[in-house]
Amino acid sequence: MSTEIPLLLLEQMPIGILWRSIDRDGRASRVNANQAACRLLELSESHLSLSELAMLPFHLDEQLTPLSDLPPLQPNPLKQALQGESVNRRDILFGQRPLHIKSMRLNLPQTDTNGGAEGVHECFAVFIQPRDHRLFVDNANTPSLSNIELSVRDLLAFDKLLSELSSRFIHAQPCQMNLHIDAALQAVGQFCLADRCYVFQFDATLDCMHNTHEWVADGISSHIDDLQNVTADQLPWFFQTIQRQGLMVVHDTADLPKAAAAEQALFTDEGIHSVMCVGITLGGKLSGFVGCDMVAQSKQWTEADIRRLKLVGEIIGQGLQSQHHLIALANTQQELMQANQKLQQLADEDGLTGLANRRQFDRQFEAEIRRALRLDHGLCVMMIDIDHFKAYNDVFGHIQGDAALLQVSQLLHDHFKRSGELVARYGGEEFAVVLPGADYNEAVASGGHLLERMEHLAIRHPNAPQKLLSLSVGVASLQDHMVKSRLHQFEPQAIIGSLLEQADQALYRAKASGRNCVVGAC
């Protein structure tokens, strides 16, 4: 039995060819290589085993992937092709030599020893030819002048497009970044004649991705809403490929390997015939990818297509990084503002009761005095003291004393709710209240209602006359003292001191009058 192949013809082909035959009994021949293949792959022999071929080191072309320092490709693309898998790679280097590797599956006639036809046998072949990574052409050996001219025109047009996109991203405001990303996707999609272009971003663990931006050509359906929170468990082959290589190029989704069954099902559901994805890196780490789909028909993606998508992905990546930095800066500023507000709050609050402390009271009291004088509005101040509170602590102890102090503080906070009113803890069991806009009668009435609410609290005090904890209140009015002593001629600080002294004297008289009452300075 013999399985002759026109070896002389293959040997003379300028394209590198490797082939391996499988006879009808399933026996595989050794791998055969023509002269061009031996030259391109630096082979010393034209017959070798599949395992020997698998040792040849192929790398991704780093001009086409955003990742660097990548290990040799695994599995070996030649071994894949000679085992019957579909391979069409325009992104491979052997040493420093850019190559295009494409598989082919043939059925060849099988003859007997007399030359008669006996059937067919299967042959797996690989075609290898150099790429010119300087020009957007496939075969650097025999480029025509017209192809070179078209390539240069495309190169200049794309350079102009990149310049415009870069300028837009450099001068973009954070609120405009999404619009510029959408415009970039449209530009590269139209330049590459794609049907859909998009950006996906990974989460921090690279186990989940989200479709954040999308452009679709007229008549093509959008899928951005359907492609949120896509996990590595759903598309394991894709996640592994894009994370290991930073690149995934599929010329025909029907030729995907068996390991990509989930991805093939997704592409079939969405009507995708060809797909190309190039990673986006932020700070040297993979953060997402930009991709193109062909829906109307399949497409043989060229090296030019991959490079263009990579360059646009780099611009988008820089824009996303700028956006992330601005968002992080804004978040940091917000956190600092909140921290400063918290510090200010802590500096202005009484530690036990949560009411304003004397520092905050003095500052706001002065501001309200100035406003009242400027607008000729009323203003009153109250001094409030808890009656017999030392005796209360002697009976119940300081822990329960603090609890009672908190109850009274909450009552004061709830009672003085009008705009601008401020309650402060002024001393141990003494409180001060500023009442902007209130006249003397209103302030005295408010103090009376406060005593009623205090009685309703019913805090037991066995040593008090009424057997309940009570309050004494002193009130002073800005308007009354302006009439009596012409306080409007004084500085605000002098007015503050005078009013507080008057309110404190009124409180002293309330204590002397039997406590649990409101006394005014008038």
79 contact partners, CB below 8 Å, separation of at least 6 = 50, 53, 54
Residue with structure tokens 């507080």? 500
Strands of 112-243, DSSP E: 117-130, 196-202, 208-216, 230-231
Token reading at 248: 């995934």
Pairwise CA distance, residues 82 & 346, whole Å: 74
CA distance 519 to 473: 6
Task: Please tell me which residue in 45, 52, 429, 452 is annotated as part of the active site.
Answer: 429
The whole-angstrom separation of Cα 16 and Cα 130 is 9
Neighbours of 13 (CB within 10 A): 13
C-alpha to C-alpha distance for 270 and 191, rounded to whole angstroms: 22
Task: Name the CA dihedral angle for 319, 325, 328, 334, rounded to a multiple of 10 degrees.
Answer: -100
How far is the CA of 253 from the CAs of 86, 230, 308, in angstroms? 11, 19, 21
- Is 429 annotated as catalytic? yes
What type of residue is 173?
Q
Q: What is the DSSP letter of 377?
A: -
C-alpha separations of 45 from 34, 42, 102, 473 in Å = 10, 9, 21, 109
CA-atom Rg of the chain in angstroms: 42
Angstrom distance (rounded) from CA 346 to CA 349: 5
**Closest of 76, 128, 72, 74 to residue 103, by C-alpha:** 128
| DSSP of 214-259 | EEE-TTPPP-GGG-SSEETTTSHHHHHHHHHHSEEEES-GGG--GG
Both structure tokens of 241? 């490929």
Nearest-CA neighbor of 151 among 137, 132, 170, 165? 137
Instruction: Decide: helix, strand or coil at residue 512.
Output: helix
Handedness of CA 136, 246, 101, 270 (dihedral sign): negative
Q: Order the strands of the 247-250 sheet from edge to edge.
A: 230-231, 208-216, 196-202, 285-294, 274-282, 247-250
Closest to 151 measured CA to CA, from 130, 128, 129, 133: 133
Q: Which residues are catalytic?
A: 429
